[in-house]
Structure 1
Amino acid sequence: MSESIFDRYPEKRKLLAEPVSGSEELLQVNGHFHTPYSFSAFSEIRQVFEMALAEKVKVLGINDFYTTDGYEEFNRLAKEYQIFPLFNIEFMALQKDLQAAGVRVNDPNNPGRTYFSGKGLKYPVMLNAEMMGKLLQVQNESNRQTGEMIEKLNRWLKDIYEDFSFSFDIMKAKYAKNLLRERHISKALRETVAEKYPSEENQIAVWEKIFSGKAPKSEVADFAGLENEIRGNLLKSGGKAFVPEDDKAFLSLEQVIELIIHAGGIPCYPVLLDNPKGEFTDFEGDYQQLYESLIAKKVYSLELIPGRNNPGIMEEFVNYFNEKGFLITFGTEHNTPQLDPITVFGGDGKELSDPMKKIGYEGACVIAAHQYLLAKEKEGFLDASGKAKLERRDEFVQLGNAVIKNFVE
């Protein structure tokens, strides 16, 4: 286990007394991206840091599904590149009451299903046996479902007289770290077809056969588009290799929040916001109602992926919650095969406005201060009851700014 970056930091009083060069400068932040430890556009974590270095991004937030396995490598590379690390995690929870009521939360297709993140976990992460058991439960269930998908895919390939098949263990060893997900299956199938059928014409013919007579819409060189078609045609509901998720694949939202707090993290709701048609989910359409729902569950942190939102709508939403004292961060996700820049851009392809950059950087500062205080065995942004210290947000921003700039400069 590599040493925590906080081992060399001075105590709070001394840290704040030290001059901070460029103290007013807003550093570029990407607070949410996935790595190969779940599924990612990146081939390895080092690639993230190389891109960040080239694009002058100074703060990075790992945010893998169900796992902290990438933390040690992430921590080591952060020290090597002098880019400040935010230690995050993501879950898919299930709110059964909202599922029964048909309420879509931040998954537009599955009522009740709720993506949820933890920000600023203590590193190294220490979970007791009960919490580790819950984490392993969802990891194992995710792998079990993926394994069944591979078996069904193999049966379908045999039915259409294709003489190749896949092994869970071999696919996991080649494409994944600990978790093998459906996106890995899509990538493996695309690469195998391309290798077996070198000509574009033959590949198209094979895809039409695999897709039950439906010709692919994507060019064979459009890896991201083709892999999304594989998922849609084979691995989603109605597809030949579809396997429905068992309830064991999900923790309740309350269990997820408990696990995050136990690991030292700040519970954070990932906002879907508007789709390309300007539509919102049932849960997010009314900002005041969303605010009240989150506060009732002691959730005081939000994150957005601005690249999928209308900038005007996003700014209105962010300003609304920023004025209420919420901790807000931005990221790129990178949870598809598409390798976009690590810099956070808006849905119009342009840089975020200066006010949005300021809000995002201040959010990262709060998380940095929280991580620093936990590493010094102090209370962080949450009090003993799990309530955020919103009234002290500016104090955490100041401390976090010192923490980050002490590390990167």
Structure 2
Amino acid sequence: MQSTPAPSAALAPSLSPSLSPALTLLLATATGLAVASIYYVQPLLGLLASEFGVGSATVGLLPTLTQLGYGAAILLLSPLGDRFDRRRIIVTKAAALVAALLFAAAAPGFAALCAASVAIGLAGTLAQDLVPAAATLAPEAQRGKRVGQVMTGLLLGILLSRVASGAVAAVAGWRWVYGAAAVAVAALIPLLWRGLPRFVPATQAGYGSLLASMGALWMRHAALRRAALAQGLLSVAFSAFWSTLALVLAGPDFGQGSAVAGAFGLAGAAGALAAPLAGGIADRRGPQAVIRIGALLVLVAFCVEALAPASLWLLVAVAVVFDLGVQAALVSHQSVIYALDAASRSRLNAVLVSAMFAGMASGAALGSVLLAHLGWRAVPVLGAVAALGALAFTRRR
């Protein structure tokens, strides 16, 4: 087994930790816009199925392919943040994301949109370069809180992307969703180049050694394994709900359109606002209690949805509660892994988020299949089972 490349003192970041309020806001905004690109498609699924003449299971390929692209890039590209200047990586990925979004806006058919979805997923990993950058620049005693603040941007991007996507599509059509997103990301590129400091690499290992070292980190740190598996299962529940919501709302039980599906992001955003609070509690009291409570909230929310009568307001309440649980667990898991090895934060983050987005892709695929064959009640059952599994991992030592 190959050991993790050891950092040299000369390779530590050349700047002392410095994360001003303005830079924190920039990182949070950029993180939110980057990750939002992955989720714009979800409220559009009903419109896209109608325009391209495909069924619910087939149109479900779009979020699945996006999540798979994201997960693959996390695993294969994000570790480069420990090897090269993160500022250059961030700016390069931002430019690639602009190109992918424009390709989606101009896609002439369903196959082209599938290809664009993969490209958006690959470039959208920009968000996961920004979070380790924040962890590196933040003072150690406040790392959980500062990372939580940047994660608020990420989580609001995930959730409010649906609001923006549904609203824009209802007024101007789905192509404008991707076009406007491309403009927003492009506007951030010069700000990121000027605002971010230069990061000196933490290792000089080659690409192959860098990838192999992630296996060594996985074997070395039981806490990393528990965090990745638990958050991956919570992500199955998260993605199964949000990937099928537009189709569920458009069905006979609810009869709602894309604008209502997008507006559900406002409900989930309430949970995202708890990220800095969860990070602060993890700094003071330790993250394990926050993780367990988060997994329990997800379990309870999906059990209620599976058993209670169909209600639009119940769906809103479920979105608030389970999003709060998922986001609190994620921020606390990040506090755990960033404390394991300061020189390997990009790789540690890559392992955690790869597991998370493997869960996202699985949740999107399973949710679509269950909805098509068993009806919408099967989706919260899947979420409850996944949350129960995550809760079991949080209790292991």
- In the superposition, the TM-score normalised over structure 1's length comes to 0.29
Give the structure with the higher percent strand.
1
Q: Which protein, 1 or 2, shows the higher relative CO under an 8 Å CA cutoff with sep ≥ 6?
A: 2
